[in-house]
Amino acid sequence: MSKVITSKNELSFKAEDLDPMPVPNKILMVKPEHFSVDYVINPHMEGNVGTVDKKLAMEQWEAVRAAFEKTVDEVVVLDGVEGLPDMVFCANQSLPYMNRQNGKEVVMSIMNSDMRKAEVPHIEEWYTSAGYEIHHLNYKKISDFEGMGDAIWHYGKRLLWGGYGFRSSMKAYEFIAETWNVPVIALKLENPSFYHLDTCFCILNEDSVLIYPEAFTKKGLALIESMFTNIIEADKHEAEELFACNATSPDGKNVVIQRGCKKVNTKLTEAGFTVHEVDTGEFLKSGGSVFCMKMMAW
């Protein structure tokens, strides 16, 4: 089953047929003391260079951390590094995995933009100290891969969803599928405002997903529809301006989401989720919100 799937007719399983994988019980965050918008590498950053209110960003980040603390056993906080303003988005530098013997492994990213490449070794230090087996991608064959920003584990299952087109390449998914013997469902991203999979696709639990449908191709939508029985859709305003789909549900019950996503929050509540609203306004200036401000690990 270790292959990269790009269309519905290649799907030979349902979510319930897949091997279980323990749900991560730790969240990793990076303190935003050096967070700012210093350059433009996605459309959301345009016009925002130099506009971050650092004190407000720190307060918002603390509130996100407090919300995360309600959903997992432990929140691990790493220091930021001067000169790496995007390191706070620690969904991006790695993709951890728990193997079938309960061993911890991680694939380190190759950041798409030169501005972010130096973040990766700092995050790798934590994985080393936490006893992870570390895999590096072959940069001669693979141009880019931005970790959990694009590569998202199905809730509680050995199935990876991988976005490609802007920040991560298909070759990275071929490596992961082979290395960990897991299927990868690859989804093409075409709208630059939704440049990472986590900007338009939020797995809530085994059966439920929150998406912005317009960010996907027809083929991609058919794959999503085949694997989830409960699909919640965000509209353009909530998805693009408020990053509704960059919400996160670490425990499959509680959803932490940017404040003001009224329509999505009504749908989430109706579906039985408990919604925790936080303000990530300063981070939205950089094209990131709740999901990207953390890494799910073990």
Q: Please give the residue ranges that form the binding site for ligand ARG (CB under 6 A).
A: 41-42, 45, 86, 89, 91-92, 116, 149, 196, 198-199, 286-288, 292
Residue 279, C-beta contacts closer than 8 angstroms, at least 6 positions apart:
60, 63, 258, 259
Shortest approach of ligand ARG to residue 201 CB, angstroms? 11
Query: Quick one: 154 or 196, whose CB is closer to ligand ARG?
Result: 196
CA 116, 188, 221: angle at the middle one, nearest 5?
135
Query: Quick one: 220 or 287, whose CB is closer to ligand ARG?
Result: 287
Shortest approach of ligand ARG to residue 2 CB, angstroms? 25
Shortest approach of ligand ARG to residue 261 CB, angstroms? 16
Q: Are 297 and 83 in contact, with CB atoms under 8 Å apart?
A: no
Q: Are 127 and 134 in contact, with CB atoms under 8 Å apart?
A: yes
Query: Quick one: 192 or 272, whose CB is closer to ligand ARG?
Result: 192
Query: Quick one: 127 or 194, whose CB is closer to ligand ARG?
Result: 194
Helix/strand/coil for 214: helix
Tell me which amino acid residue 151 is: A
Q: Which of 196, 245, 261, 276 is catalytic?
A: 196
Q: What are phi and psi of 90, to 5 degrees?
A: -90, 20
Q: In angstroms, rounded to a whole number, what is the distance separating the alpha carbons of residues 88 and 119?
A: 10
Query: Quick one: 18 or 37, whose CB is closer to ligand ARG?
Result: 37
Shortest approach of ligand ARG to residue 189 CB, angstroms? 11
Catalytic residue flag (residue 261)? no
24-57 residues labelled b (16+ CB within 10 A) or e (exposed): bebbbbbbbebbbbbeebbebbeebeeebeeeeb
Q: In angstroms, rounded to a whole number, what is the distance separating the alpha carbons of residues 197 and 161?
A: 9
Q: In angstroms, rounded to a whole number, what is the distance separating the alpha carbons of residues 291 and 28?
A: 11
Shortest approach of ligand ARG to residue 42 CB, angstroms? 4
Helix/strand/coil for 93: coil
Query: Quick one: 163 or 183, whose CB is closer to ligand ARG?
Result: 163
Shortest approach of ligand ARG to residue 209 CB, angstroms? 17
Q: In what order do the strands lie in the sheet with 104-108?
A: 94-98, 104-108, 133-136
Catalytic residue flag (residue 196)? yes
Residues taking part in catalysis: 196, 292
